[in-house]
Amino acid sequence: MYSKHLLKNGLRVILMPMKGTETVTVLAATNAGSRFEMPQEAGLAHFLEHMAFKGTKKRPKAMDIAKTFDAVGAEYNAFTSKELISFYAKVASEHLDLGLDIISDMLLNARLPAEEIQREKGVILEEMHLYQDTPMRYVDDIFEELLFGQTSLGRMIIGTENTIKSFSREMFVNYQEGLYKASNVVVCVAGKINEAKDLKRIEKYFSGLADGPVRSKTSSPAVQAHPRARVHWKKTDQTHLMIGFHGYSIDHPRRFAAELLTTILGSGMSSRLFHSIRERRGLAYYVRAGSQSYTDAGYIAAQAGVTNKKVPLAIKQILAEFKKIKNERVSIPELRKAKDYIKGHILLSLESSDEVASWGAMQEILEKKILTTDELFRKIDRIGPADIQKVAKELFISRKLNLALIGPFKDARPFEKLLKI
């Protein structure tokens, strides 16, 4: 259950009361992720998220924010995606005012001191090195760069060493002023709340957020004439690979069918890829499949960590599973299992106020509407075997294949020859 409110300044507020919890989560999401950056600003959105914790007008130092949150045992953090910058705090319900106060203060009144910007550059460069030293994670970035090229969707959220070092305070101010507008922000409060009373509290803390024109994001067209492979050389004992196709945007009518398809392929220890790649052939410790949907693009992909000598065999077996689900309709029992898997994971995640707040805010800001679990489950239940096959036939085409690898390889051409389905 939820209620949606529009404040006088244009801010959207989502209230999601929950029974049986003593916590409350305040989440403020801004449609201001890395997709809104110019090439020379790559990494600026993520860096701006960091800077909100470095002090505000009311709490001038980073320690002032941290001590205040820690004093009440809060869980607090922020994250930047290609679409969003979000800040949240999960507190005992008696500390809701404090959560609203600090989150609004960070969003509206970050000081952005030049000396802290300079100091934080070193921190973010080390964060970038951490990602690059974690190939299981970094292969996602290589794959998206391959899919979307030199567009805002193809660039790494964290940016590059050159852009990170080049940022000035003025760039942060300009970026924030172009996107931190009331109509471009959603505040969601979930947990133990009193809707009438707490709506007034939210208005008190966020009424100072001004509205106005918002910077536009850049488009990322998905045009591909032939299969592509990209290797990132790294001396490893295991190759991490990601292989897949362009997919659907977040509002596409077949998006949920695509999610069911990837659940069948690679979610859980009874999935097709887990059985074929790990259980039957012992090629990988981890193997999975999933889909990613942005507001105007998306993809479906499988991912695995494979011993270097057996990469070609693993690729062939993954492609065989793609081909099988394209050519043969899934059975009713297998489809039912996938539906129940998705429903179960959603319901388990929504037992905590932070997940409920994220559920409401992400849907509202990216889709301009919120599906309840019942509404979502009805959509899922209407999908049949023919719908799954239709997605596979539409997306699983040889010329649209993409393969990213991190391992001790320097030439992508031998792998490109394997990309046929």
Query: Which DSSP string do the residues of 144-177 spell out, in sequence order?
Result: HHHHH-SSTTTS-TT--HHHHHH--HHHHHHHHH
Q: For residue range 155-173, list pLDDT tens digits in order.
A: 999 999 999 999 999 999 9
pLDDT number for residue 224: 87
Residue 140: band (very low, low, confident or very high) from pLDDT cuts 50, 70, 90: very high
Question: Would you say residue 222 has pLDDT above 90?
Answer: no
pLDDT number for residue 223: 77
Helix (H) or strand (E) holding 321: helix 311-327
* CB-based contact 252:293 (threshold 8 Å): yes
Q: For residue range 306-315, list pLDDT tens digits in order.
A: 999 999 999 9
pLDDT number for residue 349: 94
Q: For residue range 373-415, list pLDDT tens digits in order.
A: 999 999 999 999 999 999 999 999 999 999 999 999 999 999 9
pLDDT number for residue 217: 87
Domain covering 228-416, topology: Cytochrome Bc1 Complex; Chain A, domain 1 (3.30.830)
Q: What is the distance between the alpha carbons of residues 57 and 252, in angstroms, rounded to a whole number?
A: 43
Give the percent of the chain with pLDDT over 90.
97
Give the percent of the chain with pLDDT over 70.
99
Question: Would you say residue 102 has pLDDT above 80?
Answer: yes
Question: Would you say residue 220 has pLDDT above 80?
Answer: no
The verdict on pTM exceeding 0.85 is yes
Q: What is the distance between the alpha carbons of residues 289 and 322, in angstroms, rounded to a whole number?
A: 11
Catalytic residue among 37, 41, 49, 321: 49
Residue 194: band (very low, low, confident or very high) from pLDDT cuts 50, 70, 90: very high
Tokens of 324: 């099988």
CATH of domain 3-206: 3.30.830.10
| Three-class SS state of 231 | strand
Question: Would you say residue 203 has pLDDT above 90?
Answer: yes
Give span(s): CATH 3.30.830.10, the chain.
3-206, 228-416
| Backbone torsion region of residue 22, taken as left when φ is above 0, otherwise alpha when ψ lies between -120 and 50, otherwise beta | alpha
Look up 126 and say whether it is catalytic: no
* CB-based contact 66:100 (threshold 8 Å): no
Q: For residue range 314-325, list pLDDT tens digits in order.
A: 999 999 999 999
Residue 28: band (very low, low, confident or very high) from pLDDT cuts 50, 70, 90: very high
Nearest to 295, CA basis, from 365, 246, 346, 223: 365
Question: Would you say residue 53 has pLDDT above 80?
Answer: yes
Q: For residue range 332-381, list pLDDT tens digits in order.
A: 999 999 999 999 999 999 999 999 999 999 999 999 999 999 999 999 99
pLDDT number for residue 187: 98
Question: Would you say residue 218 has pLDDT above 80?
Answer: no
Q: What mean pLDDT value characterizes the chain? A: 96
